[in-house]
Amino acid sequence: MNEPRLIVALDFNLPEMALDLAAALEPNLCRLKVGKELFTRGGPQLVETLQQRGFDIFLDLKFHDIPNTVEKAVRAAADLGVWMVNVHALGGPRMLAAAKAALDDVAAPPKLIAVTILTSMGQAELAAVGLPGQAQDNVLRLGKLAQQAGLDGVVCSAQEAVLLKRQLGDDFVLVTPGIRPAWAAKGDQTRI
């Protein structure tokens, strides 16, 4: 059977709510994303509970710090046995290399992906933080940086997916957040 491609975001503020949704899902049909708010409230115990129910976990903590700190954080995520973990590509080449090095001696390492440009950021916000040009150009530049560091893939808008596949290859993993029906509210998402 093929591995599930759907990642269900457990964007809840209470672990109980996340566990209720997980109870209605099939582990062979989807994976689960645990982000900052839920992990801060539920911690490693919540991740372990979801894993015991058979789910692969994408630990979406977007590590972005000095290289040594990110290396240790990625290793801690690997020690939890998560399926995927992410870092910010804007942390730079040394930080990305340190994140990758954290997994060198892990028997079954998680997929390591880099956040390129947050999908909540539009052109005005990119310019305000010193990233001129089009979002897709910045995403491609950061995607190349992640690939050069040996990461497995990136988080990007679905709008940039075709460009990244063409430039970075079919084996480079793309995670596209914020996917929803056209009629649904966009929330704080800008590029979905």
Q: SS3 string of 25-52?
A: CCCCCCEEEEEHHHHHHHHHHHHHHHHH
Cα–Cα distances (Å) from 165 to 6, 144, 190, in that order, read 18, 11, 21
What digits encode the pLDDT tens for the residues 152-187? 999 998 889 999 999 999 999 999 976 545 555 556
pLDDT at 1 over 70: no
Give the mean pLDDT of 86-106.
Answer: 98
What digits encode the pLDDT tens for the residues 101-157? 999 999 999 999 999 988 888 888 889 999 988 889 999 999 999 999 999 999 998
12 near 21, Cβ under 8 Å? yes
Mark out the alpha helices in the chain (DSSP H runs). Answer: 15-23, 36-52, 67-79, 93-101, 123-128, 135-148, 158-168
Token digits for 14?
A: 């209470």
Give the mean pLDDT of 61-86.
Answer: 98
Look at the chain and report how many structural domains it folds into: 1
79 assigned to some structural domain: yes
What digits encode the pLDDT tens for the residues 38-48? 999 999 999 99
Q: How far is residue 62's CA from residue 36's CA, in Å, rounded to a whole number? A: 8
185 assigned to some structural domain: no
- The pLDDT assigned to 181 comes to 54
Q: How far is residue 55's CA from residue 29's CA, in Å, rounded to a whole number? A: 9
33 assigned to some structural domain: no
65 assigned to some structural domain: yes
Closest CA to 57 of 83, 87, 30: 83
Give the mean pLDDT of 63-81.
Answer: 98
Residue 62 is among the residues annotated as catalytic for this protein = yes
Give the mean pLDDT of 85-111.
Answer: 98
Q: For position 134, which CATH number holds?
A: 3.20.20.70
50 assigned to some structural domain: no
Catalytic residue among 33, 62, 165, 186: 62
What is the chain's Cα-based Rg? 16
26 assigned to some structural domain: no
163 assigned to some structural domain: yes
- The pLDDT assigned to 177 comes to 76
Structural domain boundaries, residue 60:
56-175
pLDDT at 190 over 70: no
DSSP secondary structure string for all residues of 129-154: TT--S-HHHHHHHHHHHHHHTT-SEE
15 assigned to some structural domain: no
Q: How far is residue 51's CA from residue 187's CA, in Å, rounded to a whole number? A: 29
- The pLDDT assigned to 158 comes to 87
- The pLDDT assigned to 117 comes to 87
- The pLDDT assigned to 120 comes to 81
pLDDT at 191 over 50: no
Give the range with max mean pLDDT: 4-18, 91-105, 177-191.
91-105
